[in-house]
């Protein structure tokens, strides 16, 4: 068995003096695997992404658990070495490419910065690599695009640039946080195909954060379903869709709109289910508190 490249083990975080936001989350992503992190807003998806990069806001405290990358415990490192350790191994694709790109800088340095700083490339070398990457993400006239500013590109083009930037330093893990949510469906499909293609070509592990079950089904191999900061189900994607085990997963599937089965889709969750889910979370917290005080 291969060791997981990303190994999150029993991670709990909380607002300082406040409620838990992640409840003993364990997620493993193997080398080259595409793992979906599914959940609705507020479930804690982005919190997990931030924990992977060690950039949780100051208001948030890690209560227990560990995050390991390439077998190394990130919490055991001091900040400087941790930054460069993560920078060489992992990259991030955000949801909104316009806020992720610096509006006052041309595209070129936004791709080559990490090549120069992380890999120690020379400017010319980095530029050649940036050109090759833009070609790989199927951007026409890459020389011209390198000289443009972000606002001169369409939403889909910007997302392509960010994908190129994410793959630039050959990371072994990419975390993508809802990278297609803001895009039109036809562009979404192209970007998903591009991410799948790049991921396969580079053999990168991918943690794909989304609320869209359709995207999970079409792109990912394994999945974790997150509800209220708790992983309620973890399975291969095939299993997840054929035999969902947890009531929340089933409710999520029933609520998802489907144009091919309009009358069976968009079913709201019953109040009984919502009450049961709230009870499950309360029970988890009660058991956890008891263990902390006695253990």
Contact call for residue 64 and another protein (CB under 8 A): no
Calpha distance 87→72 (Å, rounded): 14
Q: Considering the complex, what minimum distance in angstroms separates the CB of residue 25 from another protein?
A: 20
Contact (Cβ atoms closer than 8 angstroms) between residue 37 and residue 206: no
Contact call for residue 217 and another protein (CB under 8 A): yes
Calpha distance 117→189 (Å, rounded): 33
Q: Which stretch binds another protein (CB under 8 A): 28-36, 118-126, 142-150, 186-194?
A: 186-194
Phi-psi region of 233 (alpha: psi -120 to 50; beta: other; left: phi over 0): beta
Q: How is residue 279 written in tokens? A: 């009870």
Contact call for residue 266 and another protein (CB under 8 A): yes
Contact call for residue 192 and another protein (CB under 8 A): yes
Residues numbered 106 to 145 that lie near another protein (CB under 8 A) are none
Contact call for residue 238 and another protein (CB under 8 A): yes
Contact call for residue 243 and another protein (CB under 8 A): no
The nearer residue to another protein, 98 or 255, going by C-beta atoms, is 255
Q: Considering the complex, what minimum distance in angstroms separates the CB of residue 85 from another protein?
A: 33
The nearer residue to another protein, 92 or 227, going by C-beta atoms, is 227
Residue of 149, 214, 281, 288 that binds another protein (CB under 8 A): 214
Residue of 115, 216, 228, 247 that binds another protein (CB under 8 A): 216
- Selection from 247, 287, 236, 288 nearest residue 28 by Cα: 236
- Selection from 100, 102, 9 nearest residue 62 by Cα: 9
Calpha distance 37→223 (Å, rounded): 6
Residue whose tokens read 């599914």: 38
Contact (Cβ atoms closer than 8 angstroms) between residue 174 and residue 93: yes
Contact call for residue 41 and another protein (CB under 8 A): yes
The contacts of residue 42 (CB under 8 Å, 6+ apart) are: 228
Contact call for residue 286 and another protein (CB under 8 A): no
Contact call for residue 30 and another protein (CB under 8 A): no
- Selection from 12, 138, 137 nearest residue 63 by Cα: 12
Contact (Cβ atoms closer than 8 angstroms) between residue 53 and residue 84: no
The nearer residue to another protein, 48 or 69, going by C-beta atoms, is 48
Q: Given the rule CB under 8 A, which residues bind another protein?
A: 40-41, 155, 184-189, 192-193, 196, 211-219, 237-238, 241-242, 251-253, 255-260, 262-263, 265-269
């Amino acid at each position: 068995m291969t060791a997981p490249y990303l190994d999150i083990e029993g991670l709990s975080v909380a607002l300082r003096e406040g409620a838990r936001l992640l409840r003993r989350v364990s997620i493993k992503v193997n080398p080259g695997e595409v793992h979906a992190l599914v959940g609705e807003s507020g479930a804690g998806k982005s919190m997990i992404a931030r924990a992977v990069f060690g950039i949780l806001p100051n208001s948030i405290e890690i209560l227990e658990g560990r995050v390991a990358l390439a077998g190394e415990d990130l919490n055991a490192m001091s900040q400087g070495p941790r930054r460069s350790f993560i920078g060489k191994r992992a990259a991030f694709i955000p949801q909104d490419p316009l806020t992720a790109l610096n509006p006052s800088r041309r595209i070129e340095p936004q791709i080559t910065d990490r090549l120069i700083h992380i890999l120690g490339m020379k400017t010319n070398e980095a530029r050649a690599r940036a050109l090759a990457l833009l070609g790989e993400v199927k951007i026409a006239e890459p020389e011209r695009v390198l000289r443009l500013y972000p606002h001169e590109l369409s939403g889909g083009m910007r997302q392509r640039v960010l994908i190129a930037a994410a793959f630039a330093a050959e990371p072994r893990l990419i975390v993508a946080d809802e990278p297609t949510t803001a895009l039109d469906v036809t562009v979404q499909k192209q970007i998903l195909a591009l991410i799948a293609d790049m991921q396969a070509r580079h053999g990168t592990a991918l943690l794909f954060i989304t609320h869209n079950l359709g995207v999970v089904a079409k792109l990912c191999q394994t999945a974790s379903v997150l509800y209220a900061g708790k992983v309620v189900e973890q399975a291969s994607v095939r299993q997840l869709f054929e035999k969902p085990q947890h009531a929340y997963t089933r409710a999520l599937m029933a609520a998802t709109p489907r144009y091919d089965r309009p009358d069976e889709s968009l079913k709201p969750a019953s109040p009984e289910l919502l009450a049961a889910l709230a009870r499950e979370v309360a029970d988890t917290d009660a058991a956890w508190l008891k263990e902390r005080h006695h253990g």
